[in-house]
Chains A and B, each alone.
Chain A
């Protein structure tokens, strides 16, 4: 590579030639060279870092759709702009993809030619000795005993023993080691490419789902049982692994007392599962950080909450609903909100309310829970009668009540009817229906995920790390040993060149080699007054 580091005053430079009009092919070549230049790589690396910033400041739908929606509601002026620039989904946005795709194209364009060069260098012999070894950054000359041929032989053996690749000529030995440095560098960049492909593989063929499972109930791995279902573009929904999972029991423990009172300390779910309908059920102890793996599909325990068990009877005493109803956790002390829908009653009934595992009355916030464990459980409900609006077929969340076709149950004084129930208590609506709070079960929220890219991604990452270590810590060095007959005395010269920045061990290696070939202690380096302090000879310009 030729660098023109002109020191001439700039006015002597010829005026910049106007670029001649380029033909399409030339233009393409020029563009490719620009794209694969190190400067472009730098800019793209920097841009990618910058592009990742907004996603950490604006709520992302992928992390919390609810917070993104809330943000949109609170910032009506910003929202359209944020929508336009995909700011709620930065990491799957076209502009983010454009940057990393360009970066990877640049990477390929950079790595391919370097691989070719490296391959050629790996097959070639070490370069011939320069005429003046004493001009190299580390140089030793000492008289030795033995003939030229003997000394050359010793030199070859010494270099081989130090894992140099060696080439012997008439009066010198040329040697080089540390090819792994460049191999590592190429491996590292290549592994990054593999990593990207693995991520893509996972996104295309994998799927993610969430399900809320109350103690004593089951789900099977089919799309319809899931609360949310996010398939990859090429995931085959007809070929899901046919397993079934039952949550038998969920044990939860919270911190008692102290500054962190109420913080979760432990939760684990006792599962029974079958890999397919004909298989024998097996049990599994599901914990956070300890997912269940069935047929490459993983089931993770994410969170938990309470499902009050409720019995509703109509005014004739007929049971119209019985069972656990999951309430959604609102805060760290498990104040939970929920809705009970009774489509089997006529007219239909709906209840809104909250569940407090340890109830207390806060003067400003009203009834709240003050501890997440079941110390003083209370269920607070208000009732609605009318049409639940679920017969029309429109999808409806089980956690919200559409009261547009209903009227609130009122007390005789015209206030909304509301009661707080302890376990075992029953309330009777003014219209005659009764609601009994039988007990509490827990629910677990589970994430189900299949990501065929995980293992390839891990392997790529490990490869990348290995390549990185090689490329940063292997020392690439060239050494030449010349042996000459100076009027009957044999003179040994050893000189070396390091190709890595910060390789400070070269002078010592040269001295040690010379000592070992000469059969003496390591001699001192030749000292010169020119740039002798730059002993490594690491290239300063590229």
Chain B
């Protein structure tokens, strides 16, 4: 098959993946919306107690056994049952669709790579397509180990937005690389950066869920109206998993920066030159460092740490969107004209 045909197939796979992602997102959102509000509702005192202590058991399941469920009226119960069943079906469909979309998306990246004859993250378009694949990949891998289906909407939405941006604004024809980009270290650097950003994206979604949940939990449980947030873990659990996710991504990001420095040294004779791209990678790193420190300081857990995490993610987005396109540097390899 010719390079052009493959590139064409790759483009079509991206569009198909987007379609399936959209379906998956709809199902995730519907699951949250239809989710039985009673699933996590407990006797008020216990909810209070549990909100105060940090639930250490694994997300979503460990403490269900001991949680007393508010006994609903009989017809309420039947109604809730049917809703719960529907929500479960929706959730499973959503995951199946995500797997399908991931497969199409992966196919798009692979065919693009074969078409160009190199790893397909050499310009902004390819970086976006491959980077969003890393986000879905990280989500699916984590899903096999933890019940984080509640995050589905917040993971698939950014993936879809990124792909949309890629095909509409950033699109670049499949081609070879400019000489500066032909380096193993670049490959390692970009791969690490994509994996780290995939995990940061999920961590960011968790931090947002935490902020919303924390806000909700300030109202006593018996006064809260039903909401899709009932389907989510408690704020304490969200806070803790967000921390672990950030702590997982941080060393990978650190490694990505080191690999980038090695590449820069090889290409230009200086391992660090403060060009805008490097500078913003550094800023992101600094903000996440502040986040990790904040977590170990009394009074900075929870809300304020979550704000720092969001700031960290914004600096990452700034690097990806604004710096790549508007601020030129040595790195200007975006290929966007």
Which of A's residues lie within 8 Å of B, judged by CB?
Answer: 3, 38-39, 41-42, 45-46, 48-49, 52-53, 55-57, 60, 62-63, 90-91, 137, 199, 208, 255, 258-260, 263-267, 287-291, 298, 300, 302, 447-449, 451, 454, 457-458, 461-462, 464-465, 468-469, 472, 501-502, 504, 507, 527, 531, 533-536, 538, 540-542
Contacts and interface: CB of A to CB of B under 8 A. Distances in A.
B56 A504 contact: yes
Contact of B265 (A45, A265, A454, A464): A454
A90 B262 CA distance: 23
Nearest to A198: B271
Contact of B57 (A465, A468, A531, A533): A533
Contacts of B244: 502
Contacts of A267: 179
Q: Which of A91, A255, A469, A534 has most chain B Cβ within 10 Å? A: A534
A52 B282 contact: yes
A541 B296 CA distance: 8
Nearest to B4: A258
Nearest to B186: A289
A502 B240 contact: yes
A45 B308 CA distance: 12
A263 B57 CA distance: 55
B275 interface: yes
Interface of B: 49-50, 53-58, 62-63, 66, 172-173, 175-180, 182-183, 240, 243-244, 247, 250-251, 254-255, 258, 261-263, 265-276, 279-280, 282-283, 286-287, 289-290, 293-298, 300-301, 315, 323, 327, 329-330, 335, 337
A531 B53 contact: yes
Contacts, number: 167
Nearest to B296: A542
Contact of A55 (B177, B247, B274): B274
8 contacts: A42-B294, A45-B293, A53-B283, A289-B267, A457-B271, A465-B255, A472-B250, A501-B240
Nearest to A63: B275
Main secondary structure of the interface of A (DSSP, over half): mixed
A451 B270 contact: yes
A477 to B, nearest CB: 13
B279 A534 contact: no
A193 to B, nearest CB: 15
Contacts of A531: 49, 53
A265 B58 contact: no
Contacts of A465: 251, 254-255, 258
A541 B290 contact: no
Given A208-B269, A302-B268, A49 B287 contact: yes
B183 A52 contact: no
A305 to B, nearest CB: 15
Nearest to B179: A288
A464 B254 CA distance: 9
Contacts of A541: 298
A260 B254 contact: no
List the 9 shortest-distance A-B pairs measured between CB atoms, nearest first.
A49-B286, A449-B269, A288-B179, A56-B276, A535-B56, A259-B173, A45-B290, A536-B56, A56-B279
Contacts of A534: 53-56
Given A199-B272, A533-B55, A536-B54, 16 more contacts: A38-B293, A42-B293, A48-B286, A52-B282, A55-B279, A255-B176, A260-B172, A265-B179, A288-B267, A451-B271, A501-B240, A504-B57, A504-B58, A527-B66, A533-B56, A533-B63
Given A458-B262, A468-B251, A63 B329 contact: yes
Nearest to B294: A42
Nearest to A468: B251
A60 B272 CA distance: 14
Contacts of A49: 282-283, 286-287, 290, 315
A60 to B, nearest CB: 7
Given A457-B271, A472-B251, A255 B175 contact: yes
A289 B287 contact: no
A371 B289 CA distance: 47
A269 B219 CA distance: 70
Nearest to A267: B179
Contacts of A42: 290, 293-294, 297, 300
Q: Which of A41, A300, A501 has most chain B Cβ within 10 Å? A: A501
A476 B282 CA distance: 30
B320 to A, nearest CB: 14
A461 B54 contact: no
A295 to B, nearest CB: 15
A298 B268 CA distance: 10
A343 B147 CA distance: 80
Given A288-B267, A468-B254, A472-B247, A265 B176 contact: yes
A468 B276 CA distance: 26
Q: Which of A45, A53, A264, A448 has most chain B Cβ within 10 Å? A: A45
Contacts of A502: 240, 243-244, 247
Given A289-B266, A533-B57, A536-B56, A542 B298 contact: yes
B290 A540 contact: no
Contacts of A41: 293
Contacts of B269: 208, 291, 298, 300, 447-449, 451
A289 B251 contact: no
A91 B274 contact: yes
Given A55-B279, A461-B261, A63 B57 contact: no
Contacts of B49: 531
B146 to A, nearest CB: 10
A258 B54 contact: no
Contact of A38 (B179, B240, B280, B296): B296
Contacts of B300: 42
A333 B327 CA distance: 21
Contacts of B271: 451, 454, 457-458
A258 B175 contact: yes
B270 A501 contact: no
A510 to B, nearest CB: 13
B270 A449 contact: yes
A62 B329 CA distance: 12
Contacts of A535: 56-57
Contacts of B266: 289-291
A289 B175 contact: no
B279 A52 contact: yes
Contacts of A501: 240, 243, 295-296
A57 B296 CA distance: 33
Contacts of A507: 56-57
Contacts of A302: 268
A386 to B, nearest CB: 40
Contact of B327 (A57, A62, A458, A464): A57
A448 B268 CA distance: 9
A533 B49 CA distance: 10
Contacts of B63: 533
B125 to A, nearest CB: 11
Contacts of B275: 63
A469 B251 CA distance: 7
A469 B275 CA distance: 28
Contacts of A457: 271
B187 to A, nearest CB: 11
Nearest to B123: A260
Contacts of A48: 286
